Amino acid sequence: MTIGIGLLGLGTVGAGVASILASPEGRHPLVAALRLQRVAVRDLNRSRPTSPPAELLTTDPEAVVDDPGVDIVVEVMGGLEPARTLILRAIAAGKPVVTANKAVIARHGEEIAAAAAAQGVYVLIEAAVGGGIPIIEPLKQSLGSNRIQRVSGIINGTTNYILSRMAAEGAAYADVLADAQRLGYAEADPAADVQGGDAADKIAILTRLAYGGTVPRGAIPTEGIDQLEARDVAYAARLGFVVKLLAVAQLMEAEGEHASSDHPLLDVRVHPTLVPSTHPLAGVNGVNNAILVEGDPVGQVMFYGPGAGAGPTASAVVADILNIAGIRQATGGSGGSLDPLLAAGSWRTCSLVEGSLTTHRNYVRLRTRDEAGVIGKIGTCFGEAGVSIQSIVQFAAQDQDGGDADAEIVVITHEVLEANFRRALARIEALPEVESVAACLRTL
């Protein structure tokens, strides 16, 4: 049985998928049953290193979805529209969809899942998180018996590539970002990578799979690496840390009027984080991603591998196509009824915890006057707010900084309540010896 593939997009990921389909030798035999039927692009005249036959290409993506020879629609065009409408159009036509588009799934996942369930078709998204790393299917299936306590990790390849090269080579931010774009790692608008939005899309998706319910995407506290100063990366290194952009989804202790096992309260966030250099995430460099899943009873499971780029992402896309192709083959083309694990619908309501109730370790850099008693006053502000300090170090302020400060004081706290930490910072900022709170980062 041959299965027709309609490809929406022939950029980094689409070209990677086309290349796998064009060379089935040595792969699973089902790959040979997949036939590229139609391909939508924006510009027919764009020069492409390799391309399917010209007669397969069209600038009309609806024609791809509607083509009667297309059995599975693969959306790798990116963006919210027309991607969302095309996915819904495919579902309405009873065609399963494979997509790598985390932006559309993080924002319209519930609408798409409801439409897919109503039509009895699969929408599979393995490539949307972690590039070539299998993480979606493990969360849906292999780890399904667990109560998940925490999902955390490095889930944006572009920013990890930038941070790794800045730390290893002292490379300039703009140059490394340009390299990440050239290598096909970055989003069409790289602001999504460097401002943390792409990681927030991905942790929203992982949260739904790990905890069985959607959290509002727009309410996830998100901080990227675009405001990160090289000086904090350097101070972090001197204190035994590396800086990584981490995404975290964590189950809170059942507290509050709504929290229960039917309605879990979650702490979900994305931010640059100081990671101890001995921690397994500290050694995840370049475009690699790593996701740590902590569950009961499994304990800790770590998923590691290339998080972006044509080959790894296409590997995940084609794996999803094969899942659907396998089911079609087993059911003689009908697809049968939906497997609830593979379809992965939501089964409870989740809420985000209020930020002030969360607890963290923190790194703070203060610009201050270099006088007797300053460290004592800062320590008192922290102490009176119930914030315990793990270490406090003074560095000389650099000449080019301007302002009156002649010292920089870096404080690392123990794990403390966010509300207490903010209260301490407000009091410290008001001290006449303190010019500014120059940086504030989380610490693992």
Contact 270, 152 (CB under 8 A): no
- Mark whether 202 is an active-site residue: yes
Q: Which of residues 290-319 bind ligand NDP (CB under 6 A)?
A: 308-309, 313
Residue 77 in the binding site for ligand HSE (CB under 6 A)? no
Q: Tell me, what DSSP letter sits at residue 140?
A: I
* Helices 83-92, 102-119: crossing angle, 10 deg rounding: 20
Residue 40 β-bridge partners: 8, 58
> Binding partner of residue 61 among ligand NDP, ligand HSE, none, CB under 5 to 8 Å per kind?
ligand NDP
> Binding partner of residue 163 among ligand NDP, ligand HSE, none, CB under 5 to 8 Å per kind?
none
Q: What is the C-alpha to C-alpha distance for residues 434 and 444, in angstroms, rounded to an integer? A: 26
Active-site residue identified among 95, 102, 202, 244: 202
Residue 156 in the binding site for ligand HSE (CB under 6 A)? yes
Q: Which residue is nearest to ligand HSE (CB)?
A: 158
Helical H runs in 282-410?
310-330, 340-343, 374-384
Helical H runs in 353-392?
374-384
Residue in 3, 125, 185, 288 binding ligand HSE, rule: CB under 6 A: 185
Contact 350, 110 (CB under 8 A): no
Contact 100, 128 (CB under 8 A): yes
Q: What is the C-alpha to C-alpha distance for residues 225 and 73, in angstroms, rounded to an integer? A: 35
Minimum Å gap between C-beta 191 and ligand NDP is: 13
Q: Which stretch binds ligand HSE (CB under 6 A): 154-162, 252-260, 322-330, 428-436?
A: 154-162
Contact pattern for ligand NDP over residues 139 through 178, marking x by CB under 6 A: ----------------------------------------
Q: Which helix (H) or strand (E) holds 390?
A: strand 389-396
Residue 198 in the binding site for ligand HSE (CB under 6 A)? yes
Helical H runs in 67-190?
83-92, 102-119, 136-137, 157-169, 173-182
Residue in 186, 247, 378, 405 binding ligand HSE, rule: CB under 6 A: 186
Q: Which of residues 15-54 bind ligand NDP (CB under 6 A)?
A: 40-43, 46
Q: Which residues bind ligand NDP (CB under 6 A)?
A: 9-14, 40-43, 46, 61, 76-78, 82, 100-102, 127, 131, 184-185, 187-188, 308-309, 313
Active-site residues, by number, are: 202
